[in-house]
Amino acid sequence: MASIPNLSSFLPTLSHSNPNNQCTLPPTSLFGTRITLLRATSSSRSLPNTSCSATSATVSFSLPTPKPLSDTPDKTPKWSERAIKSYAMGELEARKLKYPNTGTEAILMGILVEGTSNAAKFLRANGITLLKAREETVELLGKSDLFFFSPEHPPLTEPAQKALDWAIEEKLKSDLGYSRF
């Protein structure tokens, strides 16, 4: 009986004594070409030491807002990375449940998935978890058809759009300039 070769028998190793810091693999059956691997040396690694800053994006490019209150670029609200991620995760939850729209329940689940905001921490502290929210959503709205395919970006329901519009209005009134929910 023939033994099954393991992966380590095919892969060469780079030794510390190799002066070129390179290794050539045998020709692959897929492309028939040789692949050369280079090991990075300490002198070739020169990453700049910069501090990370919070990323923000303009609402009009990331969230569906039909009519901003102000046309001036100074008053364009900024959304934090967490807010954008919460919205995107809400869309994803709506798609997972195969719903045709993104509702307020999906946005709530997106906040729970993101998990680092004060809102998510408050919800978890009061016993509201993603699984409980998902179960309650399915109980209230019902299961979607097994063969229904949700759109890539499910449109917002009217209450969800009102919630986002309210959040934008509040941010335009505040001096922060970006959402931190």
What's the pLDDT tens digit per position in 3-60?
Answer: 555 544 445 554 555 556 565 555 554 455 555 555 555 544 444 444 444 444 443 3
pLDDT in tens, 136-165: 999 998 888 778 777 788 889 999 999 988
Residue 141 falls inside a structural domain = yes
Q: Which residues have a Cβ under 8 Å from the Cβ of 88 and sit 6 or more positions away?
A: 110
Q: Is residue 38 part of a domain?
A: no
Q: What is the pLDDT of residues 92-115, one digit of tens each?
A: 999 999 888 999 999 999 999 998
For the entire predicted model, the pTM comes to 0.56
Q: Residue 67: inside a domain, yes or no?
A: no
Domain that holds residue 174: 83-179
Q: How many helices (H) and strands (E) are present in the chain, helices listed first?
A: 6, 5
Phi, then psi, of 86 in degrees rounded to 5:
-60, -45
Residue 89 belongs to some domain of the structure: yes
* pLDDT band (50, 70, 90) for residue 127: very high
Share the mean pLDDT of the chain: 72
Domain count, the chain: 1
CB atoms within 10 A of CB 78: 17
pLDDT at position 142: 87
CA pair distance 80, 65, nearest whole angstrom: 16
For residue 145, the domain's CATH number is: 1.10.1780.10
Residue 40 placed within a domain: no
